[in-house]
Amino acid sequence: MKYFTKFDSKAVADLLIEKALFYKTNSRVDLNKGSGKRIGCIFLNPSLRTRASTQIAALNLGMEPIVMNMDKEGWALEMKEGAVMNKGTVEHIKDAAAVLGSYFDILAIRAFPSLTNKQEDIEDFIFNQFVKYSGVPVISLESAIRHPLQSLADMITIQEQWKGTKKPKVVLTWAPHIKAIPHAVANSFTEWALGCGHELTITHPQDYHLDPQFTKGAKIELDQHKALEDADFVYVKNWSGFNDYGKIVTTDSAWMLTEKHLKHAKNAKVMHCLPVRRNLELSDEILDGKRSIIQQQAENRIYAAQAVISQILG
């Protein structure tokens, strides 16, 4: 494996899930695997869990992680081919990525979308420029359209939790938010849930359809209450408009997930990628109650990253 940027296949996902669960109880067993190797973690945007869990995963494998906050400690990067750089950008991605590629054995990169330039975001332009020019293995720490480490942690968590024999019913439900939020987590969760063979229903208000390249194969049910019936896992997430790109179409608080919404889903576990806005996306009663497996998801971020890095190390 050279790149970890999206869902590959069920076989690879199963391997990574198994590896992650092994590391969860044997975190230091491969301490020599990455010895003398370096991972560069490059953040173009803020981060808490991703920053910490990726460093921990690397340290668990004996690697040396170095974190660079490009936006704060470095400088503005130029992304366009052929640009005449006589404005605000200080260094071209071509040059920066190539240097970083010569400094590190693996690069891990976070690059959020603009939410204003739809075409560029859909092409995952910034992230792919890093991949193109770095020349070394690259791990996505969330790109414009995907957050695969989060989704892998989500799949690990579902596997840990699900003791049934039938396929679990997984529901991805839109939640209100006051800011325009990227589609990356929703897209990736959809991609991984479907790829891993889960039965997935997506529910959201009218005009919040996700990019169809991700949702193909999922059931779309715009009636939230109907969608939630008999759910085994409910993934709560806001995203901004895709058709009306990057727009907040509604903040209708009726969509905030509460216990009342789950009265016909007695055993449903509730998931969220964090950070969560309490009592806006999800009620305190759910977050602080027994349904929540959100902390478990967050902890699994370490082992998801560790499995991926280990697989890249080979």
50 is in an annotated binding site: yes
Report whether 113 contacts 121 (CB < 8 A). Answer: yes
Minimum CB distance to a second copy smaller for 166 or for 290 = 290
CB of 200 to a second copy, least distance (A): 25
Structure tokens at 86: 């006589």
Sheet holding 3-4, edge to edge: 3-4, 138-140, 106-110, 38-43, 64-69
149 annotated to a ligand binding site: yes
- Supply 100's token pair: 């970083």
Q: Is 49 annotated as a binding residue?
A: yes
Q: Which stretches of the chain are assigned E, i.e. beta strand?
A: 3-4, 38-43, 64-69, 77-78, 91-92, 106-110, 138-140, 169-174, 199-203, 219-220, 233-237, 269-271
Minimum distance between the CB of residue 8 and a second copy, rounded to whole angstroms?
27
The verdict on whether residue 110 carries a ligand-binding annotation is yes
Residues 6+ apart with CB under 8 A from 45: 71, 110, 111, 112, 142
- Please say which residue, 200 or 305, places its beta carbon nearer to a second copy: 305
Report the C-alpha gap between 270 and 10 in whole angstroms.
Answer: 24
48 is in an annotated binding site: yes
> Where on the chain is the footprint of a second copy (CB under 8 A)?
28, 36, 38, 40, 43, 46-49, 51-53, 55-56, 59, 64, 66, 68-70, 72-75, 78, 82-87, 90-92, 94-96, 98-100, 102-103, 178, 274-280, 284, 287-288, 294-295, 298-299, 302
- CA torsion, points 130, 134, 138, 140, in degrees to nearest 10? -10
**177 vs 198, beta carbon nearer a second copy:** 177
Name the minimum Å distance from CB 279 to a second copy: 4
| Shortest spacing between CB 164 and a second copy, in angstroms | 26
**Nearer to a second copy (CB atom), residue 90 or residue 254:** 90
User: 61 among the known binding-site residues?
Assistant: no
Least distance CB 205 / a second copy (angstroms): 17
Q: Which of 185, 177, 176, 272 lies closest to 224, judged by CA? A: 176
Name the residue nearer to a second copy (CB basis): 155 or 298.
298
Known binding site for N(2)-succinyl-L-ornithine: residues? Answer: 142, 177, 237, 277
